[in-house]
Amino acid sequence: MNVSGYIKRCVQEGTQISRFNILAAVLLGAPAHLFFYFTFKYGFQMPYESLPLRLAATVLSGCVLFGYNMTGSLKKFFPYFWHFVIIFVLPFIFTVNLLKNNFHELWLYWEIFMIFILISFIPNWLMFLIDFLIGVLAAVGFYLLTTPVVDLDPQFSIPLYSIVVVFTVVAGYLFSYSNRRGMMAQEKNQALQALAGSIAHEMRNPLGQVKYSFESILQELPIYHPGKPEECIAADSLDRVYLRVAQGQMAVMRGVQVIGMILDEVKNKPIDRAGFLYLSAAGVTRKALDEYGYESDAERNKISCDCKQNFLINADETMYVFVLFNLIMNAFYFIKPYRNGRIIIRLERGDRFNKVYVRDTGPGIPPENLDKLFNPYFTSGKKGGTGLGLAYCKRVMKAFGGDITCESVHGEYTEFTLAFPVVSEEDMVGFRQKMVGRHVDLFRNKRILLVDDEVNDRAPVKRFLKPFEIDIDEAGDGAEAIDLVSRHRYDAVLMNLSMPNLDGFEATEAIRMGEAGLFSRDVPIIGHTAAPTYVARGKTEKIGMQGFISKPVSEPELIELLGSIFNGNMNGKSKRLSGMTVMLVDDSSFNRLAIRGILEKCNVTVIEADNGKAAIGKLEGERCNLILMDIQMPELDGVETTKRIRDKDFEGDRRIPIIGLSGESDQENIQEAIGAGMNDYLQKPVDSRQLLAKIEQWSPKS
């Protein structure tokens, strides 16, 4: 840690403004100084006592409580006021009395007592030293300025007194350390309870939606009658099944994001800006509204969006969508009792900041709660709330270079404002140059087919791809696309899903069935759609597409998706895995069943082991091409198992590719796995496309 970082930590540790400290300062400090004044002046008849100093100390001690409870912009200055009060009422006044009373024995004792109390309030040695020296030096200056003739005659042994002072400091810090450890243990226990409550509360919504999706799918399925012909599902029922599957998948993905958000918030993990893209605010906002898990059509009709003033944001799509989800979910909670309650989302361009407004016509927020809304674990009237959602939204918006604020009129409305810095033309030019430089070699000499009956929708795609020296053929419908694919080899096909005569789904099915020629069956196909993305997700995956992109097309999203295709990360060539043997090591039989189902569809032979010890035993007798290794397992976990496989004394193939599987996404866990000898890492629940892409990437056969 550098010097500035250490000093910052010392300041934080030495500024313990707990409610207990505040009450101690008020209840003990304020009356104690008046008590000392009358006791020392009239009881012990000390030569010096100052009523103005004692009254000032009493008033300052009382003001601490008001300062602690203040709101608004002055709140940030309270730590400075706190240290000023501590310095004044302890080292300054006690040292003044020590000097003015010519080192009287009674004040020598009280000076030692003051040091012990100061340590209790300032538990960091550096901050203690700074506050103590400031108070003592100020007292010396006050003494010299107010004493015409300086005539100090100490009648005590300075060395012996110094020993007592040093012992007091050491004993004080030992006491403070023990007390702090106890407080930390209590705070940790409270944090763990809050964390458990947060996960339980935040997961109810996505899990409830998964349950609802399953129930809806079950209602659409025909009744099974043994021995009778299978009943066909009507087209509209099949569409609803796809819809519920997509909603269930989105709910699972949101649940994983919620868990990650809560863990990141508890760990205070910084947000990585490296993956931020330039996104259309209108596009991602509509996407969020499409993917939100509404309880009913009536609830969906309560929300409206005005996206006419569109603008670009430099952000992470998942994080932005989560912020909107959190605000929408809170708004729905509060407007539920209001029959005419509504949620209005509005985009507005500005000179320095562009803004997204999320307003609800609910009960509003009491004024005293507005300044605390974004504090971790603070909730404003939401039963069962954890107070982590808005705190995380604040962190996300700060990472975007903007901010989130709230305005509310109690009884009328609440409006959250998401402010994003304006993206300048220079920013976009620089971004495009970097994007082209990163992909131009990968895209060069590639050939794609652009299939769309709308000429206007083809134009931006061609414009975005122009700098990459890529060959583009065009087709106006599905039949023309099949003809071109049968006569030419393409590196990717961008296929509009909604076209007359032969739509994108039918054209893709024809290509996958070999109607366009056997050599073209594995060409990567990307769905291009104006339909809600959560609906397209399930249908495109089922039909054999490698991805989808929304209309109007976003330049960064298009380039990144094509880059993944050309890199082979989503190229749909899972048939290359046919004939492979993969060892799957996981103590969960459900996880093994799910992953085995994915692999066996690609004609991959799967060898199973439920722990590391069993895996090593099987590796010595059977050969396989790759290992999928769970990290957390009983007996012998994935990290230790990998170390043994990589050890020079291992009798099997020490160079076999190993991909780690874990529910942890923490960078330390990933580094530990890679450091043990794993080649790659995937987070659970595993996405089937990512899994196949990783296996293909590390397969010795690829």
Question: Could you write out the three-class secondary structure of 220-247?
Answer: HCCCCCCCCCCCCCCHHHHHHHHHHHHH
Q: Which domain holds residue 419?
A: 277-423
Looking at the predicted structure, is the pLDDT value of residue 575 above 60?
no
Whether 529 and 599 map to the same domain: the answer is no
Q: Does 15 reside within a domain? A: yes
Residue 227: inside a domain, yes or no?
A: no
- The reply to whether 110 and 74 lie within a common domain is yes
> What are the b/e assignments for 459-496, b being 16+ CB within 10 Å?
eebeebbebbebebbbbbbbebbbebbeeeebbbbbbb
- Which one has a higher pLDDT value, 392 or 558? 558
Residues 6+ apart with CB under 8 A from 255: 203, 206, 207, 210
Return mean pLDDT, the chain.
82
Weakest-pLDDT range from 254-263, 488-497, 674-683: 254-263
- Please indicate, yes or no, whether residues 412 and 498 belong to a single structural domain of this protein: no
Q: Please check whether residues 96 and 130 belong to one and the same domain.
A: yes
Reported as a single tens digit per residue, the pLDDT across 582-605 is: 999 999 888 888 888 888 888 899
Question: Which alpha helices (H) appear in 601-699, and where do they start and end?
Answer: 612-619, 638-646, 667-676, 688-698
Is 329 found in the same domain as 316?
yes
What per-residue confidence (pLDDT) applies to 652? 79
* Domain-terminating residue out of 533, 566, 599: 566
Answer yes or no: do 533 and 477 share one domain.
yes
Residue 413 shares a structural domain with residue 529: no
pLDDT score of 671: 85
376-384 long-range contacts, CB within 8 A, separation 24+ = 376/265, 377/194, 381/334, 382/330, 382/333, 382/334, 384/201
Please name which of 395, 393, 385, 384 lies closest in space to residue 358, comparing C-alpha atoms.
393
Q: Say how far apart CA 492 and CA 499 lie, in whole Å.
A: 19
Q: What is the pLDDT of residues 59-87, one digit of tens each?
A: 988 888 777 776 666 777 888 888 998 89
The one-letter code for the residue type at 331 is: A
Looking at the DSSP bridge assignments, the partners of residue 607 are 583
Of the candidates 66, 113, 123, 60, the one whose C-alpha atom is nearest the C-alpha of residue 86 is 60
pLDDT for the residue numbered 262: 66
- 609 in any annotated domain: yes
Judgement on whether residues 509 and 617 belong to the same structural domain of the protein: no
Strand partners, 357: 346, 417
Indicate whether 294 and 383 sit together in one domain.
Answer: yes
Q: Is 379 helix (H, G, I), strand (E, B) or coil?
A: coil
pLDDT value, residue 572: 46
Which pLDDT does position 135 carry in this prediction? 92
| Angle, in degrees to the nearest 10, between helices 78-87 and 125-146 | 60
Contact 466, 440 (CB under 8 A): no
What pTM did the predictor assign? 0.60
Q: Mean pLDDT over residues 433-450, rounded?
A: 90
Burial of 318 (C-beta count, 10 Å sphere; 0-12/13-18/19+): middle
**Structural domain includes residue 249:** no
**Nearest-angstrom CA–CA distance, 439 and 442:** 5
Q: Phi and psi for 279 in degrees, rounded to 5?
A: -120, 150
Torsion of CA 275, 276, 280, 286, to 10 degrees: 70
Confidence bin at 199 (pLDDT 50/70/90): low
CA-closest candidate to residue 587, choices 617, 641, 643, 629: 629
Say how many residues make up the chain: 702
Per-residue pLDDT, 573: 47
C-alpha neighbours within 13 Å on the C-beta side of residue 362 = 27
Q: Are residues 402 and 430 in the same domain?
A: no
Q: Does any domain span residue 199?
A: no
- Checking if the pLDDT of 216 tops 70, the result is yes
Give the pair of three-digit tokens for residue 642. Answer: 């990998």
Q: Which residues pair with 261 in a beta bridge?
A: none
Rg (CA), the chain: 34
User: Domain boundary residue among 397, 423, 449?
Assistant: 423
Q: Which residue has the tokens 């009239």?
A: 42
Encoded amino acid at 176, one letter: S
> Taking a C-beta distance cutoff of 8 angstroms, is the pair 165, 49 a contact?
no
Q: What is the distance between the alpha carbons of residues 493 and 501, in angstroms, rounded to a whole number?
A: 19
Q: What's the pLDDT tens digit per position in 634-673?
A: 888 999 999 999 988 887 788 899 999 987 766 777 888 8
User: Which of 547, 566, 585 is a domain's end point?
Assistant: 566
CATH number at residue 627: 3.40.50.2300
| pLDDT tens-place string over residues 498-519 | 898 898 989 998 988 877 666 6
Residue entry with tokens 């590196």: 491
For the cut 60, the answer to whether the pLDDT of residue 618 exceeds it is yes
Angle at CA of residue 314, ends 451 and 433, nearest 5°? 65
Q: What is the CATH number of the domain that holds 310?
A: 3.30.565.10
Per residue in 93-131, pLDDT tens?
A: 999 998 998 888 888 888 888 888 888 788 777 888 899
Question: How high is the pLDDT of residue 658?
Answer: 93
Written as one letter, the residue type at 460 is P
> Is residue 165 assigned to a domain?
no
Query: What is residue 330's predicted lDDT score, i.e. its pLDDT?
Result: 87
In total, how many domains does the chain have?
Answer: 4
Strand partners, 420: 354
The CA distances from residue 624 to 165, 580, 699, in Å, are 71, 8, 10
Q: Is residue 174 part of a domain?
A: no
Same domain, 558 and 615: no
From the centroid of its chain, how far is CA 244?
27
Q: Please give the share of the chain, as a percent, with pLDDT higher than 90.
A: 26
Verify that 493 and 633 share a domain, yes or no: no
The two three-digit tokens of residue 40, written as one number: 């020392």
522 backbone dihedrals φ, ψ, rounded to 5°: -95, 10
Reported as a single tens digit per residue, the pLDDT across 289-299 is 877 777 777 88
Q: Which residues contact 248 (CB under 8 A, 6 or more apart)?
A: 209, 210, 213, 214
The one-letter code for the residue type at 419 is A
177: pLDDT confidence band, cut at 50, 70 and 90?
Answer: low
Instruction: Report if residue 598 sits inside a domain.
Output: yes
Distance, in Å, from the CA atom of 631 to the CA atom of 657, rounded to the nearest integer, reads 15
Beta-bridge mates of residue 626: 582
